[in-house]
Amino acid sequence: MKEVNKAFDEKMQKTIDVVMSDFASVRAGRANAAVLDKITVDYYGTATPINQVAAISSPDPRSLMIQPWDGTLLKAIEKAIQSSDLGINPQNDGRVIRLAFPQLTEERRKELTKQVRKYGEAGKVAIRNIRRDAMEKFKAMEKKAEITEDDRKEYEKDLQDMTEKRCKQIDELTAKKEAELMAV
């Protein structure tokens, strides 16, 4: 019956992967193309991520250059970046868009730290929801006499250990990202 817990463990791991991608989208002072992953642009009526309609390069540690494959997208990309919560004003020279990443102010670092904590907490809530669903499944299985009460208690104990391990992992990732943000 370990395969049941394994399935829930895989769901929890996917949640951690989502949290890690959320953390990657929070900029930490240096240029990182991952900050653009969640920004979409209207491309022929479809919301498309910027990295699918343009080449993104980093000419130096503090800037990104976005070169759309379709020149008509320059304005749309510029508008999408301005309306995002990135906090950077794009410079459009008619061929490429440049993003200059200024040093983060103390106030902005604190805002980003709050955002990271929010992502971490959302991940822990998702993991707890997975645990709740699993507990309900175990109780239903016990009711149908598929497993015994002792089996259910053992599965729930294993599940609780898994949940604590995954929540601790998210706390560690959150602390690491916060330290990265607060480093000057």
Same domain, 73 and 15: no
Residue 2 vs residue 108, higher pLDDT: 108
Q: Are residues 158 and 116 in the same domain?
A: yes
Tokens linked to 86: 């990135």
Look at residues 100, 121, 152 and tell me which one is the last residue of a structural domain. Answer: 100
Give me the CATH number covering residue 91: 3.30.1360.40
Same domain, 46 and 79: yes
Whether residues 149 and 130 share a domain: the answer is yes
Are 136 and 164 within one domain?
Answer: yes
Same domain, 96 and 146: no
Q: What is the pLDDT confidence band of residue 27, given thresholds at 50, 70 and 90?
A: low
Alpha-carbon distances, residue 32 vs 52, 56, 105, 108 (angstroms): 16, 10, 18, 17
Q: Quick one: pLDDT band at residue 2, thresholds 50, 70, 90?
A: low
Give the pLDDT score at 56.
Answer: 85
Are 166 and 12 in contact by the 8 Å Cβ rule? The answer is yes
> Each residue of 108-138: pLDDT tens digit?
788 888 888 999 999 999 999 999 998 998 8
For 177, counting Cβ atoms within 10 Å of its Cβ (0-12 exposed, 13-18 middle, 19+ buried), the class is buried
End-of-domain residue from the set 100, 125, 155: 100
Which SS3 state, helix, strand or coil, does residue 177 take? Answer: helix
126 & 92 share domain: no
Same domain, 20 and 80: no
State the pTM of this model: 0.68
Give the per-residue SS3 of 100-132.
ECCCCCHHHHHHHHHHHHHHHHHHHHHHHHHHH
Q: How many domains does the chain have?
A: 2
What confidence tens digit (pLDDT) does each residue in 36-79 have? 777 888 888 888 888 888 888 888 877 888 888 888 888 888 88
The two beta strands, 40-43 and 63-68, are unpaired
Nearest to 90, CA basis, from 113, 109, 73, 108: 73
If you average pLDDT over each of 13-17, 23-27, 145-149, 180-184, which comes out highest? 13-17
Say if residue 19 is in the same domain as residue 43: no
Note down the domain range covering 178.
2-24+105-182
Which pLDDT band, with edges at 50, 70 and 90, does 106 fall under?
confident
Share of the chain above pLDDT 90, in %: 16
Same domain, 175 and 122: yes
- List phi, psi (to 5°) of 59: -65, -25
The average pLDDT across 21-31 equals 72
Residue-averaged pLDDT of the chain: 84
